[in-house]
Amino acid sequence: MDRRTVLTGGAAALLGAIGVGRVLTQASAPATTALPPADPTTRPSPATPSPAVPSPPPSPPTEPSPGTSPSPADEPEPAPEPAQTEQPTTAAATLVVPVLCRDAWRAAPAGAGLVEHTLARMTVHHTAVPLGSNPDAPGRLRQHQRYHQSQGWPDIAYHLGVDRRGNVYELRTIRARGDTFTDYDPTGHLLILAEGDFDQQQPTDAQLEGVATLLAWGASAHGLPIDTAGGHRDHASTSCPGDALYARLPDLRRRAVELAGPGVSTRSVCGDEGRAAVARIESGADG
């Protein structure tokens, strides 16, 4: 984010915590985060075998009458083969990342003017506003969204956000191009936002893991090359995402490669569950 995006004002009380890396079940709406898990396939119960009935003793063979062809004897029905017990297949472990839906952090509706695009690369940003207390994180996102919409943008500029505790938030739909105050075209960029000002503070380990996990998800779910993952400053005249976070990008790419190997998916955390999770974040109950 450009320095012009620095916001003021206190953050609204925040709602509850689901940390990155807890294995749940995916979602990822085609464009945003994860889809709910598919309904399990119901397998039919095996049929109960009928009790065995002994066959009558065979009749003695008879000679065919002259001039007639012998009738073939009735062939007994083959006995059914025993049902095969399906052996479970061992699939590669998949990391499923909970993503707090827009309704969970109380985002305003997106306005008109979203521009559809196709993802091709990944870019990391920061807010350029220090985040000292993680319970402020959801309220800060609401502040950023209000500011961005006041500038004429249809929505908050970024696609996914990560707070200091590693919680992941759904921001703008990934189907739509992001926005920027700087001189680059964000078309095709998956924009990942780390909350904080990393010219003034250090990212936490949980936040770094959250960003790396989203880079791995971009590669695993959308085929985005991890080596395209860079910082905002790689495309425009800005210090974003801050010196401290930018210096960690090589580590984040290496970690993303490790995580993407087994596969990464997401699960949308919405409705009452999502609001309760955000409530825990805002109360500080997530640590």
Sheet order of strands, 189-194 included: 230-231, 121-126, 189-194, 160-162, 168-170, 95-100, 264-269
What's the pLDDT score for residue 263?
93
How far apart (Å, rounded) are the C-alpha atoms in residues 221 and 12? Answer: 33
Q: How far is CA 111 from CA 34, 138, 151, 277, in A?
A: 22, 20, 12, 26
Pair of tokens at residue 226: 């991890």
What's the pLDDT score for residue 30?
36
What's the pLDDT score for residue 287?
58
Most confident of 89-93, 94-98, 207-211: 207-211
Taking alpha carbons only, the member of 80, 164, 171 closest to residue 129 is 164
Query: Is residue 170's pLDDT more than 90?
Result: yes
How far apart (Å, rounded) are the C-alpha atoms in residues 139 and 17? Answer: 14
Query: Is residue 77's pLDDT more than 50?
Result: no
Give, for 280, the enclosing helix (H) or strand (E): helix 271-283
What's the pLDDT score for residue 286?
79
Q: How far is CA 192 from CA 75, 125, 173, 195, in A?
A: 71, 6, 12, 10
Please, which pLDDT band fits residue 18 given cuts at 50, 70 and 90? Answer: very low
How far apart (Å, rounded) are the C-alpha atoms in residues 101 and 103? Answer: 5
Please, which pLDDT band fits residue 94 given cuts at 50, 70 and 90? Answer: confident
Query: Is residue 66's pLDDT more than 80?
Result: no
Question: What's the one-letter identity of residue 203?
Answer: P
Q: What is the pLDDT of residues 158-169, one digit of tens each?
A: 999 999 999 999
How far apart (Å, rounded) are the C-alpha atoms in residues 235 and 218? Answer: 19
Query: Is residue 268's pLDDT more than 70?
Result: yes
Query: Is residue 80's pLDDT more than 70?
Result: no
Query: Is residue 84's pLDDT more than 80?
Result: no
Query: Is residue 230's pLDDT more than 90?
Result: yes
Query: Is residue 3's pLDDT more than 60?
Result: no
How far apart (Å, rounded) are the C-alpha atoms in residues 120 and 141? Answer: 25
Determine if the pTM surpasses 0.75: no
Query: Is residue 2's pLDDT more than 80?
Result: no
What's the pLDDT score for residue 47?
38
Taking alpha carbons only, the member of 222, 229, 155 closest to residue 191 is 229
Query: Is residue 153's pLDDT more than 60?
Result: yes
Report the range of poorest mean pLDDT among 29-43, 74-88, 157-171.
29-43
Q: Which residues face 269 on adjacent strands?
A: 100
Q: What is the pLDDT of residues 99-140, one digit of tens each?
A: 999 999 999 999 999 999 999 999 999 999 999 999 999 999
Q: What is the mean pLDDT of the chain?
A: 78
